[in-house]
Structure 1
Amino acid sequence: MRATVGRVCAAAGAELLAEPAGPTSSTRAPLADTELVDVHHAVRGRVRPGTVLVGRPEDTGLWDRAAELGGCTVAVLPDAAGWLADLLCARSTGGPGPGGTGHVVGVLGAVGGAGASTLACWLADRAAQEERTAVLVDADREGCGIDVLLGLEDRDGLRWPDLQRIAGTVHAEQLWPALARAGRLRWLSWDRSRPDGAPAPYAPVLEALRRAAELVVVDLGRAGPAAADTAVLCDEVLVPAPRTVRGMLAARWAADLLAGVPARLVPAGLNVADVDDALAAAATGLPVAGSVRFCGGVPEAAETGRLLEAGRSRRLGRDVAGLLSAVGALR
């Protein structure tokens, strides 16, 4: 692996400083632009922001290990050699990379119907309304497009199928103006075509959006292994869950699935099981970021293209603003 990484570094014009395996600490080279960790030598504990875990296609548990290390980016070599070289080149010349100014927040539904997609839309929209540079990213491949939920599927702009054949770095200055938009809000959605099995370039695209926006909100869909793989690309994840026994059990499972990714709970809807925030936190092991109250008009609003309008109401808007403050998007 060291020889493979060495060739990538040489192609990027970067110097490889090899260190023996050991605890991640301040003893590691403080001036390194990027820390690369071989999956076979990774130790327990969190790693620096922007760390890349490297491995080969035959390395099982690569994504699980990345989650245990705090959600670092993964490069599977040699397939990702071009992408990794571009990343090293950008960082060595001052490019912001994953540690750039943008904050990436994932929204993962504990159960189906928990309102993850709706909450993701409202978070991105409220940030845009507050004059933050915000983008909504649809990472729920089988959801037929978050643009439909927005009621804006007729807007021109890039969709994920347009980006599936890209290789290497995605340039923020090219991606940003090509996104669909309404006012200050931009989004990147899946469409209604049948998934062809090709992997989505979530890592390079999210990195580019991080460089372009102050806030990137990622709709991860319902909790599951595929969603967990994408969640490791986020700085933190919000987990909306109904205030029910089943909702809390599902949120506990989602917390285990997320492993080392920083996550917080968002109790949502009617409190039919007498689950207050303290009980929810104790039952799930997740701290509570805030809650979203029940509003009976939301399903109709979603079906009639008025979802964003519903989220801007005074009561729901206060809940959404509170969550944005909790993740540091509003000061």
Structure 2
Amino acid sequence: MAKAAKSLPPVALLLPLSGVHAALGRSMARAAGLAQGLEKKALIILDTGGTPEGAGAAARQALKQGAGIVFGPLLSAEAGAVLAAVGTRVPVVSFSNDPALLDSGLFLLGITADQAVAPLLRYARGRGVRRVALAVGSDSWSAQIAAAATRVAAAEGLELQRGPGSQPDALLVGTIAEGAQQGPAARAAGVQLLGAFSGINGSQEPLAAIEGAWLSAPDPTRFADFAARFEAQVGAPPGVIAGLAYDAAGIAVALRKSGGEDRSALLSPTGFPGVCGAVRFRENGSADRAMAILAVEQGRFRVIVGGASA
């Protein structure tokens, strides 16, 4: 098995190491470097510059250097250029969470609204919630939260309110900032606050404004070890996107140990563990992700339901 792994082609990581997202790209590169079992010679890190043109050039360079699988790009705007350059020659696992990229040929490793909303609303329904009000903004993540909530509410038999009406059982928000704005009034009215977040970085943030909220997020207990090692090396705590880069390197290690980096290997029914939640990829490029349910109690996160497996 070890001999087969050594003969595999290298893994390419396409990151914005220059341009406006350079700091984030460098953070992701450092996180990937912490993964155990992936030799430096097996990992090619290439700069996309955060642009479609740069991403396409990086993808072509990855193929020239013999990459057997591509992780990246970070931005959905870069994805088309990478796909145009790579085609179906090697699998592409993007860090994006943009549902518009589904069925495009690449896989999405980013935390999606469906992954955040579904377990939270199912948990809430099991605790007696029947009527949920939606309080999200107008940005892309908010639109994805609204669409996911509509699908899940219909499947779970929940009533979803988008405007004024009778008092709901729960109020769904998509960011901690929205929760802080809406939380005190909801709590005073006896309405359960629900937060479907793309990540909370495992940190104990000032959470007084969302005291009592139920949240869905990657399990902070699984994120903690990676976060400690990252901070010891870099001097600052990692964000969730850095965690995704670490998980990408972990997936690469798992693929190399199994002896394959092709699409069928990525579609393994057993999936892949990760600090941002275990994932199991589907044919259309989406993924099941194990998310935890947390409660905010006395300004701290308490894990109610752990994110064991996807």
Q: Do they superpose with TM above 0.5?
A: no
TM-score, length basis structure 2: 0.30
TM-score, length basis structure 1: 0.29
